[in-house]
Structure 1
Amino acid sequence: MAEDEGGGGEPDNRLLEAVLDDDEEDEDEFVMEEEVNDSEEVEKPSNINFDPSLPTSHSYLGTDMEEFHGRTVHDEDSFLNVPVLTNIPVILIPGQTLPLQLFRPHEVSMMRNLIQKDRTFGVLAYSDSADRSSKFGTTAEIYEFREEQEYGIETVKVKAIGRQRFKVIETRTQTDGIRVAKVHILPEWVLPSSVSGVQLNSLNRLHMFVSGKPPACQFKQAQRWWQKYQKRKFHCANLTWWPPWVYSLYDAEILMERMRAQLREWDENLKDDSLPSNPVDFSYRVAACLPIDDALRLELLKISSAIQRLRCELDLMDKCTSLCCKRCHNTEITTKHDIFSLSLYGPMAAYVNPHGYVHETLTVYKANNLNLIGRPSTQHSWFPGFAWTIAQCRNCGSHMGWKFTATKKEMLPQKFWGLTRSALQPKMPEIDDGGSDKLRWGRVISSLVYLCFKTFFDLANVFDLPFTVPCWPPHFSLPKGGPFSSAPFSSFLTGSMENAEGGTQC
């Protein structure tokens, strides 16, 4: 987009004002400010004829880009040196697409060199724009590349995809200006079934796996299928101290099905085969489209277990009720019920503007407390067939995103909003409300039960009694700070891993 702010969510609007001033001089037009009518009733789009594959192609970067095939995978727990980009305001998630437009000479030179090698670079993750020290990041692999020169300025356009998480050991800057980091590729802990410790091999033939689920079924049929699945999979839990529902809280397939139900609220036409079947890839796909701030997203990136990542994502989707202006804090912009999907990526994806600034844009069909600035434009539109208009917070004037309007009457939806994630702050409910009493008491009781059991088990070990049962909770210890200890919703989470980098396994 040619006229959007380069730093969506930044305190000042100098870039926007400069661009609009240039437009006034060149086109002799005046800047219009339009107040959005919040009382207007807007229905969720049901009949959408927009091609959801168009945003994923990033056609605004050009159609004649050089494509690369193959994939580079580094060994887990290995150490390597990778060039890193430090000016990308995105916490890249593995599997997420990252479009780039680079103008700085050392970055252009870095991309040229990478094309001749393994096409892999690092994207550092910053939880705070003011703090430029980073301990974590994600490797990105280039799959499309284009180099061009305009007005004597060399530019590279890149499409990359996130691959593997890493921890930064040290960084250094070379004489050519390229920054290189020594990183540790973090492993993915693939945990066994929560009841694997008590499953009898002779009864394996009775186990039911998700591959036997009908590809399409009605809601009641699917509900009965899942009840039968849980009953047969966790029947051996009756041999332990804990009921089957406890183990289902840590079952990857059940967690994924609960997450699919949440995603269907955003996209009624969502097909299960469009989502990854692997729990690790599935958890990353969800993490990439959650409209949370950088601090929470970084905590998700640190988690090394797909099961724990899914549990945290479910908790976030349940507790996040609305999205507010990051600068105003209390100015509500939209709610989670207004989110819908217009792309194969899901409701949120990363796009880059002509200035090289990357915006992770969330699509919603209704937004409040916004003012529109300027006239609609189709230049560099991320959604072909739609014109965009800059949207600002009505209270503080910070850049919030854009309003997209269809250029043809037959196109559906006729309008929607694209909100930049960097300008949004998720709003969580207070833990002390009346509805949380049952949840709070349940966790108190479960902790007491655990302490009683642990005491009994320790005594059994002291007296060398032949007594073993699965741990509580399955795979995880009781919270000791955990990866979300500093997050606002830490009191909602249970079963946090003992540490984010490696975790514990029973």
Structure 2
Amino acid sequence: MDDEAERRQIQQILELDGEELQVEEVDSLLESSDDDPDATGVASTDDFTFNTQLTSLHSYLGEVNDTHRRSAFWEGGAIVNLPLYYLEGVVLFPEATLPLRVIEPNFVAVVNRAMTQVDAPYTMGVVRVYRDPMDGPIRLAKVGTTAEIRQYRPVEDGSINVVTRGQQRFRLRRCWIDVEGAPFGEVQIIEEDVPFRTPRDACAKLVPLSNLQSQHMLSLNALSHGGRNDENDSEENSEESFENELSQRERRIHQSAIGVGYESDRTDESTSSGDDSKLSESDSHSGSPCPNDPTSIGLSLSGHKKQVGNADMGIGTKSMARKVAGPRSRLSSTVSRAFWPIWVYRMYDSFCLAQKAADMWKQVVGTPSMDGFVNKPDLLSFYIASKIPVSDPTRQELLEIDGISYRLRREIELLERLDCVRCKICKTVIARRSDMLVMSADGPLGAYVNSYGYVHEVMTFREAKGLALRSRPHKEYSWFPGYAWTIINCTACETQMGWLFTATNEKLKPKSFWGIRSCSVTHEM
């Protein structure tokens, strides 16, 4: 952003605070919200005047200096020592913005070390901290994200205002406190996988699995007559030419998929046909869930059930391998030239999953086209994970998933199930997904920090229920320029849920909206 554009936006922020409304209007809005949702005066998306770009500036932090983004980037698997910043109820993802008001001396030392270190300039590690159930000890999550300090400003009282941006995921190996009291950690950068795309003409050039047995019988008949199976020879040549067209990673995935049948052949050579029939009968009543290894293309012969995102392929894989096998003497020569059905590949095709996730996201949030993200499935998976209105433990789960396809599959499952947002304590319905409202260019959920240094991840809704006002409206330190904030509690259990934001300028629409803390809600019953 150039200086002129930033000055114009700052001027807009100052103008928004110029005209105040009567405080009594806030009470009337709240009283009518439960009985008549349309009586709240909340503007629809067609009647929206607020500039969402202003929110992402985090102007409430005051003037901050640009660090010119001199960040560090490491290869996957690299082990580095970084100062650590702990956050409760907050999960940082790559490409997400995280504002901080650093007050505690140990974390002031963390930021100062990050600003001055040579091997990792302007970089620190951000880790979610949580407490075990039943008031157990406080623990650090095993996976965090490196944060690049993009803006920085020391304050006269000794605190520091900074704006950071997530960069790379890492696994926390060990942590300690240095001589200055700053938490430090030895972290290993996670190597992100490459988006998987279904090999070109996967089913067109090679024989499908459903035809393996008939093809094999034809092969045996040809051999019994002393003939040569020219069709198999042509298939072999077709396979070789096809594999030559694949990238190195696609070739590994393909060979891993077709190698399943070969492994089954080698492992089960001594198994009697009677055992086969028993296993087939048993497996016909059960399916094998998807494996954790994306290179296996959803088929596992280990005999153990593996589950990712509760997605079940419904395939008795070991049974399938044995049913398809037929006579085992020459099975491998046939199976090794076969692909799995195209729908199996598409279950893990990152680009197909990205398109589905983007379409579902637009249905839920109603944001503009996400076509640019569809071509970058890795960025889309992190974007949705950082903005989806679910609890912070679930978002930590998304951060810890290795594999673009598996993360997208889990997000699609969450979006399919997402309907109501409930109070974490009493499970009272607070809002519905259809009521989500995008009040920031960063999306419907964003991280904000208050004047006491507490960071809150807030999701915004045009309508909510089951909430009660706890204070009078305040304009100071408002995250949304032109809006005053009022603390709200759950009426059933009195848990603090977030804030009601009301416009202080007559030109602003919507006139009010709700900001709900992600750490105070759950999407489950």
Q: Which residue of 1 aligns with 2:34?
A: 38
Question: How far off its partner does 1:275 sit?
Answer: 4.3
Question: How far off its partner does 1:417 sit?
Answer: 0.7
Matches within 5 A, 1:223-238: none
Q: Contact conserved, 2:378 with 2:404, CA < 8 A, in 1?
A: yes
Q: Contact conserved, 2:87 with 2:129, CA < 8 A, in 1?
A: no
Q: Which residue of 1 aligns with 2:106?
A: 106
Matches within 5 A, 1:266-277: 266-272=364-370, 275=373, 277=375
State the number of aligned residues.
Answer: 360
Q: Contact conserved, 1:126 with 1:294, CA < 8 A, in 2?
A: no
Question: How far off its partner does 1:36 sit?
Answer: 6.2
2:408 matches 1:303: no
| CA 38–74 in structure 1, closer or farther in 2 if over 3 Å, else same | same
Q: Which residue of 2 aligns with 1:20?
A: none
Using the alignment, how far apart are the partners of 1:197 and 1:301 within structure 2? 33
Using the alignment, how far apart are the partners of 1:173 and 1:269 within structure 2? 43
Find 1:133's aligned residue among 133, 136, 139.
Answer: 139
Q: Which residue of 2 aligns with 1:370?
A: 467
Q: Contact conserved, 2:130 with 2:139, CA < 8 A, in 1?
A: no
Matched to 2:448, the amino acid is: Y
CA displacement, residues 222-271 of structure 1 (integer Å, 9 cap, x when unaligned) = xxxxxxxxxxxxxxxxx956443333222222222222222223443513
Q: TM-score under structure 1 normalisation? A: 0.66
Using the alignment, how far apart are the partners of 1:278 and 1:241 within structure 2? 26
Question: How far off its partner does 1:127 sit?
Answer: 5.0
Q: Contact conserved, 2:423 with 2:490, CA < 8 A, in 1?
A: yes
2:320 matches 1:314: no
Using the alignment, how far apart are the partners of 1:325 and 1:269 within structure 2? 26
Structure 2 residues without counterparts, runs of 5 or longer: 1-26, 206-240, 246-336
Q: Contact conserved, 1:266 with 1:347, CA < 8 A, in 2?
A: no
CA displacement, residues 437-460 of structure 1 (integer Å, 9 cap, x when unaligned) = xxxxxxxxxxxxxxxxxxxxxxxx
Question: How far off its partner does 1:95 sit?
Answer: 1.2
Q: Contact conserved, 1:128 with 1:295, CA < 8 A, in 2?
A: no
SS of the counterpart of 1:366?
A: coil
Q: Higher Cα Rg: structure 1 or 2?
A: 2
Find 1:123's aligned residue among 103, 123, 126.
Answer: 126
| CA 391–184 in structure 1, closer or farther in 2 if over 3 Å, else same | same
Q: Contact conserved, 2:196 with 2:348, CA < 8 A, in 1?
A: no
Find 2:188's aligned residue among 173, 184, 188.
Answer: 184
Question: How far off its partner does 1:69 sit?
Answer: 2.4
Find 1:165's aligned residue among 163, 169, 178.
Answer: 169
Matched to 1:141, the amino acid is: E
Using the alignment, how far apart are the partners of 2:201 and 2:69 within structure 1? 42
Q: Contact conserved, 1:349 with 1:362, CA < 8 A, in 2?
A: yes
Question: How far off its partner does 1:408 sit?
Answer: 2.1
| CA 277–353 in structure 1, closer or farther in 2 if over 3 Å, else same | farther
Using the alignment, how far apart are the partners of 1:406 and 1:204 within structure 2? 62
CA displacement, residues 343-374 of structure 1 (integer Å, 9 cap, x when unaligned) = 11110000000000001010111101000122
Using the alignment, how far apart are the partners of 1:190 and 1:359 within structure 2? 32
Q: Which residue of 2 aligns with 1:360?
A: 457
Q: Contact conserved, 1:36 with 1:371, CA < 8 A, in 2?
A: no
Using the alignment, how far apart are the partners of 2:339 and 2:76 within structure 1? 36
SS of the counterpart of 1:374?
A: coil
2:383 matches 1:387: no
Matches within 5 A, 1:46-125: 46-117=46-117, 118-125=121-128
Using the alignment, how far apart are the partners of 2:470 and 2:99 within structure 1? 26
SS of the counterpart of 2:506?
A: coil
Structure 1 residues without counterparts, runs of 5 or longer: 1-31, 206-238, 429-506
Q: Flag the structure with higher helix content.
A: 2
Matched to 1:347, the amino acid is: P
Matched to 1:54, the amino acid is: L
Matches within 5 A, 1:90-489: 90-117=90-117, 118-126=121-129, 128=131, 131-134=137-140, 135-149=142-156, 153-195=157-199, 198=202, 242-272=340-370, 275=373, 277-329=375-427, 331-427=428-524
CA displacement, residues 84-108 of structure 1 (integer Å, 9 cap, x when unaligned) = 0124541211111110011122322
| CA 204–75 in structure 1, closer or farther in 2 if over 3 Å, else same | closer
Question: How far off its partner does 1:174 sit?
Answer: 1.7
Question: How far off its partner does 1:122 sit?
Answer: 0.9
| CA 48–67 in structure 1, closer or farther in 2 if over 3 Å, else same | farther
Matched to 1:125, the amino acid is: R
| CA 138–188 in structure 1, closer or farther in 2 if over 3 Å, else same | same
Q: Contact conserved, 1:127 with 1:294, CA < 8 A, in 2?
A: no
SS of the counterpart of 2:114?
A: helix
Using the alignment, how far apart are the partners of 2:148 and 2:351 within structure 1? 29
CA displacement, residues 117-165 of structure 1 (integer Å, 9 cap, x when unaligned) = 301111122354654222221111100000011xxx3010010111111
SS of the counterpart of 1:113?
A: helix
Using the alignment, how far apart are the partners of 2:113 and 2:68 within structure 1? 15
Using the alignment, how far apart are the partners of 2:411 and 2:130 within structure 1? 18
Q: Contact conserved, 1:385 with 1:406, CA < 8 A, in 2?
A: yes
- Say what the alpha-carbon RMSD is for the aligned residues: 2.6
SS of the counterpart of 1:53?
A: coil
Which deviates more, 192-201 or 358-367?
192-201
Q: Contact conserved, 2:169 with 2:190, CA < 8 A, in 1?
A: yes
Q: Contact conserved, 1:88 with 1:123, CA < 8 A, in 2?
A: no
Question: How far off its partner does 1:427 sit?
Answer: 2.2
Question: How far off its partner does 1:116 sit?
Answer: 2.3
SS of the counterpart of 2:150?
A: strand
CA displacement, residues 295-326 of structure 1 (integer Å, 9 cap, x when unaligned) = 22222111121111011001001012211111
Q: Contact conserved, 1:322 with 1:336, CA < 8 A, in 2?
A: yes
Matched to 1:57, the amino acid is: L
Q: Which residue of 2 aligns with 1:7?
A: none
Q: Contact conserved, 2:106 with 2:181, CA < 8 A, in 1?
A: yes
Q: Contact conserved, 2:101 with 2:162, CA < 8 A, in 1?
A: yes
Which deviates more, 358-367 or 56-65?
56-65
| CA 103–264 in structure 1, closer or farther in 2 if over 3 Å, else same | same
Using the alignment, how far apart are the partners of 2:195 and 2:372 within structure 1? 24
Matched to 2:86, the amino acid is: T
